[in-house]
Chains A and B, each alone.
Chain A
Amino acid sequence: MTQVLLGALSLGLLWAIMTIGVYITYRILDIADLTVEGSLPLGGAIACVLIANKVDPFLASFIALLGGCLAGLCTGLLHTKLKIPALLSGILTMIALYSINLRIMGSPNLSILRKPTVFKPLTTLGMDKNLSIIVVGVVASLLIISLLYWFFGTELGSAIRATGNNQKMVRAQGINTDTMKILGLVISNGLVALSGAFIAQSQNFADVQMGTGSIVIGLASLIIGEVLFGGRSFYRRLLALILGAVAYRIIIALVLKMGMNSNDLKLFTAITVAICLWLPQGKEMIRKIKKSMAKEGA
């Protein structure tokens, strides 16, 4: 059981980086970006191909991040320059990335068994694989939220936040909303690809399918984090994303342990997300029903 929980913890920490990426588009920019379903495997593909070709795994992960940025740029340009709706722009990039990922890997999946990974330095110190993933995951995700905390406090970061709030106002302040949206998409997909690179290294292979359903997992983690651990301050909200991603993996591990068929997992996740998204309105609805019932009773 501890092994199961440790496994969930390590996986959750790697997916936390992806969740932070989803947060940037979904919450800050107010865009549902499906590019992530392609940029996650893109990160895995780039990292694995480079590692298979003897590139240092840290450098390979960084290049994977840049690849994700490029994918975000592509979606951003489709959306702002060609005026294609954001959702559709993301889908277009996602579909295109499927072919590109196959090209990069040369096959639907690519193993890097016994090749060095970013976890290698810790395992050579005698650390258990799960533990080394947890250490890398904690360090990386805390580093990323600290960087983002700083960034979204700067002039540029404030402009991106404002763009997600009120574009008309932002343009009236002399800010190019197109540039801000592109920038947000670039950062978001960079993080998602980095997450993909780490996930692939943790499982020793990349798969062209590894991004399928990832947007839903990201949203589930984000919402679980907000509901269970959310707070007022921005740092607290970023931290809640990491905790949410871990909580999601633990929930999944527990329901599997309780005997759920793993084929039903995606259905379970989708239903969970639907309920969570409905929750704010649902609370209001229940409050109203209670109120009207109280009135009738009186």
Chain B
Amino acid sequence: MLEIKGLTKVFNAGTVNEKIALSSVDFSMEPGDFVTVIGGNGAGKSTLLNCVAGVYPVDGGHILLDGHDVTRLPEHKRAKFLGRVFQDPMMGTAADMNIEENLALSFRRGKHHTLRWGVTNAERAKYRELLALLDLGLENRMTSKVGLLSGGQRQALTLLMATLESPKLLLLDEHTAALDPKTAAKVLQLTEMLVKEHQLTTLMVTHNMNDAIRMGNRLIMMNEGKIAVDIRGDEKKSLHRADLIALFEKSSGSKLESDRLLLS
């Protein structure tokens, strides 16, 4: 479903601030894979997801989505393959537009925008049903501005939007990091529900080791722009935090210092 070959991304090339964020990364995902991504600050996790989404041009390598080479495709032209949820709950929705208008934008992801109505009545009925599944009471607030919702509600809505038109690949970048623990747990539960229901191929960055171990069928750990650890199947099922830390230290040849990753 996703195939990455020799992907390299350098920020501020040729200056004193030069930073190799990704250094010829090879990585691929099968349809239905749910891969969790962990790694220390600045390891390149977000950069990996952003390169897949086309947020900025890459400096080397190829990205194939569903068999299409999208390496040179601008961000908006790749969107039809992708569902995305960001760390910042404000980033995934349009605050001044109401809930149904936001859903309607996602419903038309990757399609031509014509002079037909932005939201139709048939859609409204469908959205109401879907919102009810979130169990947040949003189905009764469909004409409320999204800006009035809480961070957790917005993130749940963004998740619903990202999965509305089953994307080929779902990209989640620490999408619960900005939420309080209870809301984060709820949004993670929703994530699992939606991924299962639509059988989505999913790439999820998290800084919570336990979540990374518990969720998905495969786990990768990144370090200094490279994939340092890649564990799948039964091996992942029997994985523990201690194993993961040991694996990381062995592959990167350095101690895992005090980091968000260890504290979580």
Contacts and interface: CB of A to CB of B under 8 A. Distances in A.
Interface string A92-107: 0000000000000000
A158 B115 contact: no
A173 B106 contact: yes
Q: Tell me the interface secondary structure of chain B in the complex.
A: loop
Interface string B91-109: 1111111000100111011
Nearest to B114: A155
Contacts of A170: 94, 105
B75 interface: yes
A169 B114 contact: no
A166 B109 contact: no
A162 B108 CA distance: 13
A172 B82 CA distance: 8
Contacts of A159: 105, 113
B84 interface: yes
A168 B104 CA distance: 17
Given A155-B108, A165-B96, A166-B90, 10 more contacts: A151-B115, A154-B116, A155-B113, A158-B101, A161-B94, A164-B96, A165-B95, A165-B97, A174-B109, A175-B105
A169 B114 CA distance: 19
Interface of A: 151, 153-159, 161-162, 164-166, 168-177
Contacts of B116: 154-155
A166 B76 contact: no
Contacts of B97: 158, 161-162, 165
Given A154-B114, A155-B114, A174-B111, A162 B91 contact: no
A26 to B, nearest CB: 14
Interface in B190-230: none
Given A153-B118, A154-B114, A155-B117, A175 B76 contact: yes
B57 interface: no
Contacts of B82: 172
18 contacts: A154-B113, A154-B118, A155-B118, A158-B104, A159-B105, A164-B96, A165-B97, A166-B90, A166-B94, A169-B91, A169-B92, A172-B75, A172-B84, A173-B109, A174-B108, A174-B110, A175-B79, A175-B105
B80 interface: yes
Contact of A156 (B79, B101, B106, B113): B113
A174 B80 contact: yes
Q: How large is the interface on B (under 10, 10 to 19, 20 to 34, 35 or more residues)?
A: 20 to 34
Q: Find the residue from A170, A172, A176 having the highest chain B CB count within 10 A.
A: A172
B91 A168 contact: yes
A154 B53 contact: no
Q: Find the residue from B86, B95, B115 having the highest chain A CB count within 10 A.
A: B115
B79 A172 contact: yes
Nearest first, the 10 closest Cβ-Cβ pairs linking A and B are A174-B79, A158-B118, A165-B94, A174-B110, A155-B113, A162-B94, A156-B113, A171-B75, A154-B115, A159-B113
B77 interface: yes
Contacts of A175: 76, 79, 105, 113
Contacts of A169: 91-94
A175 to B, nearest CB: 6
Contacts of B84: 172
Nearest to B88: A168
A162 B76 contact: no
Contacts of A154: 113-118
B109 to A, nearest CB: 5
B115 A173 contact: no
